[in-house]
Amino acid sequence: MAKVCLLTSQPYREVYVNEKSVGQGGVNQRDDVQLVQLFLRIATEDAPNSPGFKPPGAAMIEPDGICGPTTQKYINYFQEEVDRRRNAKLLARDGIVDPVKSGSARGSLSNTMYTILALNAAMRSRRGDSYKIENEAKLPSELKRALFIDW
């Protein structure tokens, strides 16, 4: 299940993470896929000094919870483009958005940044540190229920 992690020493308070892997060969749990799709959609927007991450010729991604060819194209493009723009191997280019399994921003096997954390960073660069995901127009109600509990 997609979840919110609260941080103590960042300029923003929360990071949104997936519980299961998303992408080709992944578990593709519906709310995890929706979270990744929502972040990939936000990443298509231009930010200062960072054009949007939209694969050439691809239809706009929608957070529908189905990891199909469009979602896979966006994941692959995001991973490749982050590395290309930084001229460094920051992300594993494996087409998978793995869950964060440790207290580190980098995977222990690949020693690369988790893609979900890079997607959080892309969201923050486009929406700002005070952005509240619960106000997002494209936030699916299923994902909202997974992330937040109404008391």
The answer to the question of residue 121 being in a domain is: yes
Let me know if residue 96 belongs to a domain.
yes
Q: Give residue 105's pLDDT band: very low, low, confident or very high (50, 70, 90).
A: confident
**Structural domain includes residue 94:** yes
For residue 146, tell me if it sits in a domain: no
Residue 66 lies inside a defined structural domain of this protein: yes
Q: What is the per-residue DSSP string for 28-64?
A: --HHHHHHHHHHHHHHTS-BTTB-----TTPPPP---
Residue 12 covered by a domain: yes
Is residue 136 assigned to a domain?
yes
DSSP 8-state assignment for residue 138 = T
To 10 degrees, what angle do helices 115-127 and 69-86 make? 80
Distance CA 125, CA 48 (A): 8
pLDDT bin (cut points 50, 70, 90) of residue 140 is: very high
**In this model, does residue 13 exceed pLDDT 80?**
no
pLDDT digits (tens, 9 = 90+) for 32-63: 999 999 999 999 999 998 999 999 999 999 99
Q: What per-residue confidence (pLDDT) applies to 7?
A: 67
Residues 92/21, Cβ–Cβ less than 8 Å: no
Q: Mean per-residue pLDDT for 122-132?
A: 92
For residue 99, the enclosing domain spans 3-141
Q: How many domains does the chain have?
A: 1
pTM score of the predicted model: 0.93
Judge contact between 52 and 81, C-beta under 8 A.
no
Look over the chain and give the mean of its residue pLDDT values, rounded to a whole number.
92
In a domain, 19, yes or no: yes
| Among 65, 41, 60, CA closest to 123 | 41
